[in-house]
Structure 1
């Protein structure tokens, strides 16, 4: 008994010492965290009060829509470069890194990027054409002749001829969206939507030159460049028109590799799933960390929209020449509609609201695809026995261009300028319906750099976001999961069962 008492007292002393040590460690960690936050706060105040940190850009808020429309759409001074005004993007859409770029350097930056994109587009064709030449049966047998017995097998031969060129082309285009986005950021656009619009335009142009034209013109890389350089411009549609039917098989395999497989990868979301499990294993400590790790992001307009328009171009070109390609494109569009509709409603978060600013660019590329398909059809028919009826097709591109200019003059101003009549009408209705509406408190913290926002501002944003979610007429499944009142057991692998929840709520 005495020995047992001594051992119990010793164990109690050891436990007590461990508890004191844990309290000391926690106290030390808390002091380090407080000191770190104090240093960040002092540095924030220093930068905010430093005159050298003032940027030549500002966000101006107005009491009325009419005043904002007048200021944003008029010239403010006699010198047009003294005061430059434009519509500000919404707070979520601001790309803060480019606000400090001087106006004078924007033109130089865009000229540099235009030249760089030209060389990127045409010199990117050389490695693509070289690798695609090796991806053929003859190219592989010439490069590695000891593999000829394996390549000549029927299954391997059909696989190489059907899918290998499309897979090689897809691999070469993986890093391209990142490069184009970096080039757009260097140009100095101040909104995320503008960055994605410029990147999407260049991605579509790149695909048109390298994927469409580069794949149609057969031969090596230098032969492709010489084909465009040595021919007269009026012979290019005829050359491409002759080569179009012979490349239908390649584009069918490319649609299956890039389009069908891309839609399957979109619905599976393997990359976000792997990233979530890595973050969950190494970084997640709290429920907020888990929610951030589960964030799927937003839909990539800079990559998805140009790819869909490329398939639209292929459908227009091959609708008359080789209609066998149309079922593959129709299947892609049907699958894309179902999958992207599900992803937008139930999975992705809306990163910003740009007011349908993408549509003028999309409309212009659709018109361009129509004109290209009509010119290539004329070039193809000029080589056949129907050459005498080809001149009658000249009316098609003329009518298409006329329709484009009509739409441009009739509808494009609605995407660029805000009518003063509409602004005045909405101001009058707002004063009549909500006379005590005051947005001053929201506007004071809306356009503050995220680094300078305090904890109070973050709480106000959370309350404002919760109010927006509550005001939605049709909540999505993802929002319903976020706003669930049931407690989340982030340490476990499954949700709590109903008896556990009832027991927890029944406790005082």
Structure 2
């Protein structure tokens, strides 16, 4: 059997609900050499181990340079179409220009861009032809099986004696594949993971600057000490209410706008093979970033070392929470009203997309294809979960927050339901994989609330209430353990019973399955390898209507 020498990584990946699709990924260090092609290695390996269920495979090609050229050609094509549209309108309005000179410069520019586009397209065709060579094969491939059960067996069983030689992962749906990942080398992936960890830590520390500013605004005495010349202004009641009530949450909200895009970018360079995995990773980063920097950093004022000392002091954690959390209720209630209500209403009116469309309108044509937006899960899911944390934590410390949260949740239900039905088009099927994140967030909120309750009852010297509340965190963690054993496996893998049942249903329609098999090689082909159709020579204004 012909295999690459010393292959260090492989990832066999499946498309979940679509069918039996898996992806195989492997990598090696720079000094390793290839005895034969990746395609031959994959075919011989899986044909030998799974002769009855193995169907075919598609090897991933290195297409980074092709993707760059395609983006350039797309931009040039849009520019040529815009120039031709403007030239047509001006010729109609001005009767061909003044002495024929009005449109000459624009025609020359169109010709220049057209020649440049033809050169780029020719270069793309050459690169696509070169991508079929063995040297351009990435150490990754989609492996197809004849049944779901066969694919699941190949995924869960260790393929070889060396566990680092062949690594398997379930393959995402065709539209969910993140193609740039496969062209990266092993060293780049390893270094990028370290860089992401360091950048996340530095970003978390640097974000304490707006948090400290917010803390200063909520404490007028501290603000008067730092800025004595503001004493006369801060004596005005209306100014005081604005500064302490709404300005801190507004500053924090504007600062938090940067977090989801940054976390999304960091997750995209961590080595995930699908957009859904990238958004799930970004969602987890944003949730814990928000909990740490908005909740704990606001509650436990001071430096990050002081915050770590307070949180890690387990013997005094309940009393520290019982003192610090209620003191910040005056901040979080306006925070829900300003941040929560504003974000939900802006989601309904789509203010930022509307402004963006107004800016782009002069540069686009009405015939241009409209792309429906999709929901940014890593932006909206952490926000809703954080408001759930505030509601669970403060419902007995500051009950006044409950009406504000109820208004927010009712608005969110009505507005997001409308957005899902009439506005957004999902890029991929989540298959309920965000529910474990929601569950973990709720369990964390409950345990935190119960610890605060124990500390509050102890400070008020209500020993019976504190004693009866103390077992609640233990029961909550036991319930979480039960849920993880009972329900979490449903979100991570399909049962053999359901796979076999679906396979038997497919066997009743062999014609449809043969057509499905034939489409596999096409739908899992890199989009960069498809022929381009927007050539300047075929999109001329003088081209005949019928060919």
TM-score by length of 1: 0.78
Counterpart contact for 1:162–1:253, Cα < 8 Å: yes
> Contact (CA 8 Å) 1:200, 1:302: kept in 2 or not?
yes
List aligned pairs for 1:126-141, cutoff 5 A: 126-134=209-217, 136-141=219-224
| 1:435 Cα offset (Å) | 4.1
Aligned pair 1:243/2:324, yes or no?
A: yes
Alpha-carbon distance change, 115 to 386 in structure 1, aligned in 2, over 3 angstroms: farther
What residue is the counterpart of 2:394 in the other structure?
A: 318
Against the structure 1 CA distance between its residues 47 and 139, is the aligned structure 2 distance closer, same or farther, given a 3 Å change threshold? Answer: farther
Tell me the SS of whatever aligns to 2:168: coil
Alignment match, 1:334: 410
- Conserved? CA contact 1:89–1:354, under 8 Å: no
- Confirm or deny that 1:253 pairs with 2:253: no
Other-structure match for 1:387: 463
Matched, 1:275 2:356: yes
Distance in 2 separating the partners of 1:184 and 1:101: 15
Report if the CA contact (8 A) 2:217-2:243 is conserved. Answer: no
Residue 233 (structure 1) aligned with residue 314 (structure 2): yes
Instruction: Give the secondary structure class of the aligned counterpart of 1:288.
Output: coil
Deviations 1:124-179 (A, max 9, x none): 32442145315654455445544444443332221112101111211222211122
Judged with a 3 Å threshold, the aligned counterparts in structure 2 of structure 1 residues 19 and 277 are, in CA distance, closer, same or farther, namely closer
441-450 or 18-27: which moved more?
Answer: 18-27
8 Å CA contact retained: 1:128, 1:172: no
Q: 1:344 aligns with which of 420, 428, 435?
A: 420
Q: 1:286 to 1:441 in 2, by over 3 A?
A: farther
What CA distance in whole angstroms lies between the structure 1 residues aligned with 2:112 and 2:364? 19
Give the match's secondary structure for 2:241. helix
Partners of 2:161 and 2:230 lie apart in 1 by 74
Instruction: Check conservation: 2:286, 2:382, Cα contact below 8 A.
Output: yes
The residue that corresponds to 1:465 in the other structure is none
State the distance in 2 between where 1:105 and 1:38 align. Answer: 29
Contact residue 56 and residue 102 of structure 1 kept, 8 A:
no
2:527 pairs with 1:450: yes
TM-fit CA distance, 1:24:
8.4
Once the 2 structures are TM-superposed, how far is the Cα of residue 396 of structure 1 from its aligned partner?
A: 1.1
Q: Residue 354 of structure 1 corresponds to which residue in structure 2?
A: 430
Q: Which has the higher helix share?
A: 1
Per-residue CA shift, 1:16-51, capped at 9, x if unaligned? 989998998699479627733641443333441343
Greater Rg over alpha carbons, structure: 1
Residue among 352, 357, 366 paired with 2:442: 366
Q: Which residue of 1 aligns with 2:273?
A: 190
Residues 252 and 166 (structure 1), Cα distance of their counterparts in 2 relative to 1, 3 Å cut: same
C-alpha displacement of 1:310: 0.9
- Residues 421 and 136 of structure 1: is their aligned pair in 2 closer, same or farther, counting only changes over 3 Å? same
> Residues 317-355 of structure 1, C-alpha deviation per residue, up to 9 Å, x if partnerless?
112222111111111111110111111111111111131
- Over 3 Å counting, the alpha-carbon distance change for 1:43 and 1:135 in structure 2 is farther
Equivalent residue of 1:61, what SS?
strand
Match in the other structure for 1:52: 135
RMSD of Structure 2 on Structure 1 (CA): 3.1
Cα distance in structure 1, aligned partners of 2:339 and 2:471: 35
Aligned in 2, Cα 1:31/1:284: closer, same or farther, shift over 3 Å? closer
- Residues 471-496 of structure 1 show CA distances to partners (whole Å, capped at 9, x for unaligned) of xxxxxxxxxxxxxxxxxxxxxxxxxx
Q: Structure 1, residues 250-284: CA drift from partner, whole Å, max 9, x if none?
A: 10111111101111111111110011111111x21
Q: Does 1:174 align with 2:250?
A: no
Select the residue among 459, 484, 487 that pairs with 1:408: 484
The answer to whether the Cα contact below 8 Å between 2:321 and 2:455 also exists between their aligned partners in 1 is yes
Q: Equivalents in 2 of 1:346, 1:265: separation in Å? A: 16
Flag the 1:47–1:249 CA change in 2: closer, same or farther, 3 A: farther
Counterpart contact for 1:132–1:168, Cα < 8 Å: no
Q: 1:359 to 1:249 in 2, by over 3 A?
A: same
How does 1:201-212 map onto structure 2 within 5 Å?
201-212=284-295
Query: What's the CA shift string for 1:213-257, capped at 9, x where partnerless?
Result: 121224xx33x6425426732202211112222211110111111
Q: Deviations over 1:353-394 (max 9, x none)?
A: 131111122211211111111111111111112134313222
Q: 2:322, 2:452 within 8 Å by CA — same for their partners in 1?
A: yes
Query: How far does residue 286 in structure 1 lie from its aligned partner after superposition?
Result: 5.0
2:367 corresponds to = 287
Aligned CA distance change for structure 1 residues 22 and 197 (closer, same or farther; 3 Å): closer
Distance of aligned partners of 1:426 and 1:227 in 2 relative to their CA distance in 1, 3 Å threshold? closer
**Contact 1:73/1:86 (8 A) holds in 2:** no
Moved more, 121-130 or 315-324: 121-130
Question: Is the 1:136–1:160 Cα contact (8 Å) retained in structure 2?
Answer: no
Change in CA separation of 1:415 and 1:105 when aligned onto 2, cut-off 3 Å: farther
Query: Which stretch shifts more, 441-450 or 314-323?
Result: 441-450
On the 8 A contact 2:159/2:166 being kept in 1, the answer is: yes
- CA contact under 8 A between 1:132 and 1:169: conserved in structure 2? no
Structure 1 unaligned segments of length 5 or more: list them.
Answer: 1-11, 457-508
- The aligned counterpart of 1:215 is 298
